[in-house]
Amino acid sequence: MPRRRTDTRAEIRETALELFAKKGYTATSLREIAEGLGITKAALYYHFRSKQDLLADMVRPMLDDGERTVRELEEEPDATARRALEAFYDMGRRHGTLFRAVVADTAALGDLGDVVPRLFDWRERLLRLIFGSDPTPRQRALAVLAIGGLQDAAIMAADDGGGGLTGDGGDLRSVVVEGALRALDLPAS
Amino acid sequence: MPRRRTDTRAEIRETALELFAKKGYTATSLREIAEGLGITKAALYYHFRSKQDLLADMVRPMLDDGERTVRELEEEPDATARRALEAFYDMGRRHGTLFRAVVADTAALGDLGDVVPRLFDWRERLLRLIFGSDPTPRQRALAVLAIGGLQDAAIMAADDGGGGLTGDGGDLRSVVVEGALRALDLPAS
DNA sequence: GTCTATACACGGATAGAC
DNA sequence: GTCTATCCGTGTATAGAC
């Protein structure tokens, strides 16, 4: 019965994610991950060819999701800036824990090849979606402010479960998306 | 003449900063730093008790600067929100390279004790300076957006030398500070 | 197909010679 | 103030048990 096969891989990813989020990628040893699962370090090497490979495998869904999100926005003919910012925020929230771990150890991700370029690419394409194909330098600067801030807000929201920050009636997402729109000097559309 | 003593320490810090900024803190080995200076790994351990100690020493000026900046703002009786955001942005720019290295490897800084709490403390005190002693959840969320974005903008500006982004006449600082003020729903005061 | 045993190179760190 | 020698932990890799 090959049932347990993918199971183990998933369990490894889970345990690894917890540890990566808590202590960062580089600071987490394979021995720790293995011990958390009751197997040995070397067993991990059956499932993943390297530590980086494990990370890449964990990051892939997020990368695919982001790619899909941006592409869908581009194909939507009358996508508003608000829609774009909301989609970006939601994407950040969906992968909150991983996103945090990733941002907390950008250096390690440099080795991983295309992750950081990919993040920059999304930013660039969001920028074009919002401001058209030839944004002014001022618009570029505001986009850094807005998208960077939104990313922070999404991570923080994911961390704290989504409650807390806005109180009972408040909707954190719209508060923060509208803030970003104001920063970009755009109407709340 | 004990002239060369502090000199070597400074040279180590310089070389280390370059490498940390380029490859991140954890990814940089002491051997690399030593080789860049023509000495051995062990020699470093005469000047710094540990790798963390080296990092702490490099980070201290930034920490002191930030602490001083926030305290001065608090003592200024009629400090505007704009002043506060400008001061924060300038602080980020002054320590651009280090700031980047620090943010790129937050995980490593967790071990370093009070750096991350300190950053949060600044955020909190800026928040109180801008919105008074009892900010609403909405204001908290917007502050995360604005301050996080401003931090990104400052890092990016420091990276790229300050030119580029705004073109000839534009002043990146005021563009981005005014964007943050709008995000916070405050007049450009 | 799944895991253990084992070896190796490299990283941080220390002790002691010069 | 710097070096050599050495220690232990960690990522990596392979051979082989079941």
DSSP assignment of B128-175, as one string? HHHH-SS--HHHHHHHHHHHHHHHHHHHHHHHTTT-TTSTTT--HHHH
d(CA A62, CA A44): 22
Residue nearest to nucleotide D5 (CA to C1'): B42
Contact B184 A180 (CB under 8 A): no
Asked whether residue A12 carries a pLDDT value surpassing 80, the answer given is yes
Q: Is the CB of A51 under 7 A from strand D?
A: yes
Q: Is the CB of B31 under 7 A from strand D?
A: no
Nearest CA to B100 out of B150, B155, B60 is that of: B155
How high does pLDDT run on average in chain A?
A: 88
Question: Residue A29: which nucleotide is closest by CA–C1'?
Answer: D10
pLDDT at res. A2: 41
Question: Residue B29: which nucleotide is closest by CA–C1'?
Answer: C11
Chain A residues whose beta carbon lies within 8 Å of the beta carbon of residue B151:
148
pLDDT at res. A89: 96
d(CA A135, CA A147): 15
Which of residues A109 and B10 earns the better pLDDT score? Answer: B10
Q: Is the CB of B39 under 7 A from strand D?
A: yes
Encode pLDDT of B94-122 as tens digits: 998 888 887 888 888 877 878 889 989 99
How many alpha carbons fall within 13 Å on the CB side of residue A85?
30
pLDDT at res. B170: 63
Whether A51 and A21 have beta carbons less than 8 Å apart is answered as no
pLDDT at res. A6: 67
Asked whether residue A101 carries a pLDDT value surpassing 90, the answer given is no
pLDDT at res. A109: 79
CA distances from B135 to A129, B119, B125, B140, B158 (A): 34, 19, 11, 6, 31
d(CA A11, CA A143): 38
Within its chain, how far is the Cα of A185 from the centroid?
Answer: 25
Asked whether residue A22 carries a pLDDT value surpassing 90, the answer given is no
Nearest CA to B152 out of B80, B82, B84, B104 is that of: B104
Chain B residues whose beta carbon lies within 8 Å of the beta carbon of residue A106:
24, 103-105
CA distances from B123 to B31, B70, B152 (A): 36, 10, 14
**Per-residue DSSP letters for B66-112?**
HHHHHHHHHH-TT--HHHHHHHHHHHHHHTHHHHHHHHTTHHHHHHT
d(CA B52, CA B64): 18
Encode pLDDT of B127-164 as tens digits: 999 999 999 999 999 999 999 999 999 999 987 765 55
Nearest CA to A180 out of A147, A138, A157, A139 is that of: A147
Contact B175 A142 (CB under 8 A): yes
pLDDT at res. A167: 55
Asked whether residue A187 carries a pLDDT value surpassing 90, the answer given is yes
Asked whether residue B2 carries a pLDDT value surpassing 50, the answer given is no
Most distant CA atoms of chain A, gap in Å: 60
Which of residues B166 and B105 earns the better pLDDT score? Answer: B105
Q: Is the CB of B48 under 7 A from strand D?
A: no
Encode pLDDT of A147-169 as tens digits: 999 999 999 998 776 555 555 55
Both tokens of A171, joined, read 């909707």
pLDDT at res. B92: 93
Q: Which H or E run contains B32?
A: helix B30-37
Which of residues B89 and B23 earns the better pLDDT score? Answer: B89
Q: What sign results for the dihedral spanned by CA atoms A138, A66, B119, B93?
A: negative
pLDDT at res. A170: 63
Average pLDDT score over residue span B54-70: 96
Average pLDDT score over residue span A76-87: 95
**CA of B38, C1' of C17: distance in angstroms:** 20
Alpha-helix runs per DSSP H in chain A: 3-23, 30-37, 41-47, 51-75, 81-94, 96-104, 106-111, 115-131, 137-159, 172-183
A interface mutation test: which of B144, B147, B159 has the most A CBs within 10 A? B144
How high does pLDDT run on average in chain B?
A: 90
